[in-house]
Chain A
């Protein structure tokens, strides 16, 4: 055999060995469930507790854990879905799940919830409703959060204000009183409809009740947007409200130059970690005027492609109730969807981190005034059609009338097209 022949033989032998190894690896594939969590890489001890509890009832199934930052989560999940390797159990924030549920990517868990009454009765029914699409349940609460109003007591005192605002007009007048120089009076987070309580308190609806048409282009809404734009131009409302996402607004509030911040509960410990001045004496927590809030809870859902749905459901129950939920609550400093566990968590926080108690109390109040959580299949597209137009009006680029008319046209197009 000449040298070309030898070389050829070597290449073919290597290829055969690799093929054999790949094939045998496939045959020996273990039973496994993959769990994708949302930016809680530090939650290791509690997660292992879930796995131990799960393996007591399913010793033959291995749990593989993946964790992604919020900014990467959706891209990662979508890529895995396209590749046909969707994680089996997913921890999703806000309304992202709607897109997946409406396209048939999630497992309908209605029957499981009806079957396991012991579990279902532990969960807040108002919160459980957040994951209903077209009458079917797709998720259960993992940890709960909704928006509230944080206020800088030092700036309130400086401006001669004794209590937080109770009406929308008060909110704006207080904001104006506290603004000037580098200080601004009010700021809100804007992603996932978190700013919607400002609209809800003024009676503005986004869509018609059947979710088929835009309902926001009204004289009242135009007047409201004009008012917000004026307050933004004057500095009463910080512009970052309409341009920042998470770090920018919370970071600015942490700098101590903003009077009020409308944000969801997890923001508190974040800005506290950035601002040494933050404590019970300096920052208050209350409801937005009217008691409206936008939920932004995290839920656990199961991908439709799951190979072992019953086992996946068992894992979800372990993680979201009883000892598993308590581990999550203490590990991430949040309340859970389990009513009984939350009683224990309040006792825990009272002892360990009393500063969060006023914030957490707001999370279980006014559950009948949740807003900005429409179960619309095209939630992300509607948001994308609506917000840039609203933003252009709020930042003075367009008139409120033109912006809302353009937004209406775009939202209706989204709702009507295939």
Chain B
């Protein structure tokens, strides 16, 4: 009992108690599944039979025999590379609605409105917009005389992925805009005034003041864009179910398919390991590019 009499020990114990629920949940729902997933990827496993050691079998299958894996990996990378497009668009909108124009709050709200919409609803809306026979996009293109017959956007091997990416950008652009707008509004106006007195034109002011000062906001948007490309399961599933062929499958949808359509849980585990390593690499790279302090919390005394 002497141990509990020391004030520092008692405080440490209390802190441990308060932390315990979160830590237990973290270990149960994150660490254990992660480790078990890693183990599973080196086994022949099915819920009905005892596991057998498989060595690198699933990884060999993935890298040397499974063309679909390479296709979905490329799709995931393309999806990820589309994030800057959304950020540029959002920045343009943020600059517009940050300008002293009449009704800018209404414009901000309108642009942001797409973000809280459920992804499943976004998928269904865009599915109909892209419809070959009754879709609004084809209707406009035909009405303007640009095309004669409807384009089967989501049935096309070449157009389906860009179409899903457009829907994804549409949904997230409002959120990017708000993040960037916050960054823009934190820039002291005096900097622009000084630059204007020094004779800097608007492009120079944008390049030398705006862009450097909103770098943290842009970084947040890039990170969210990367996360989106790895987790955008619902949009793809609703709009195309990964098709046609595997033209819109991402790693995440392919993992789902391997596990729950094909009952290949062991192979899905190997795919998940690759997905995790790839994502971890990108997160580390992003952290390094941001100066190595991303996510750090300042605890000044």
Contacts and interface: CB of A to CB of B under 8 A. Distances in A.
Interface of A: 2, 4-5, 7-8, 11, 74-75, 78, 81-82, 99-100, 103-105, 182, 239-240, 242-243, 245, 252, 257, 304, 380-381, 384, 388-389, 391-392, 395, 397, 410, 413, 417-418
A383 to B, nearest CB: 9
Nearest to B71: A388
5 contacts: A7-B17, A78-B47, A82-B47, A243-B154, A397-B244
Contacts of A243: 154-155, 243-244
A4 B10 contact: yes
Interface in B246-264: 246, 257, 259-264
Interface residues of B, number: 35
Contacts of A257: 133
Q: Which of B14, B262, B264 has the most CB of A within 10 A?
A: B262
A304 B263 CA distance: 17
Contacts of A384: 257, 261-262
A182 B259 contact: no
A392 B47 CA distance: 34
For the complex of A and B, 3 pairs with smallest distance between CB atoms: A388-B245, A105-B48, A103-B48
B262 A381 contact: yes
Nearest to A392: B245
Nearest to B156: A395
A243 B159 CA distance: 14
Given A388-B68, A388-B245, A389-B245, 13 more contacts: A4-B13, A74-B260, A99-B263, A103-B49, A103-B263, A239-B132, A242-B155, A380-B262, A381-B262, A388-B244, A391-B245, A395-B155, A397-B245
B44 A418 contact: yes
Contacts of A418: 44, 57
Given A105-B48, A391-B245, A380 B261 contact: yes
Contact of B47 (A4, A81, A388): A81
A4 B9 CA distance: 11
A257 B132 CA distance: 13
Contact of A78 (B10, B156, B157, B259): B259
B261 A74 contact: yes
B65 A11 contact: no
B65 A413 contact: yes
Contacts of A81: 47-48
Contacts of B265: 82
B234 to A, nearest CB: 12
A388 B265 CA distance: 21
A241 to B, nearest CB: 10
Contacts of A252: 133
B152 interface: yes
A239 B260 CA distance: 27
Q: Which of A74, A252, A384, A417 has the most CB of B within 10 A?
A: A384
A73 to B, nearest CB: 10
Given A7-B14, A75-B260, A105 B47 contact: yes
Given A103-B48, A239-B152, A395 B257 contact: no
A283 B152 CA distance: 27
A48 B157 CA distance: 48
B193 interface: no
Interface string B48-78: 1100000001000100010110000000000
B154 to A, nearest CB: 7
B152 to A, nearest CB: 5
B46 interface: yes
Nearest to A182: B133
Nearest to B261: A380
B241 interface: yes
B4 interface: yes
Contacts of A99: 262-263
Contacts of B57: 418
A257 B271 CA distance: 43
A242 B49 contact: no
A8 B13 contact: yes
Contacts of B132: 239
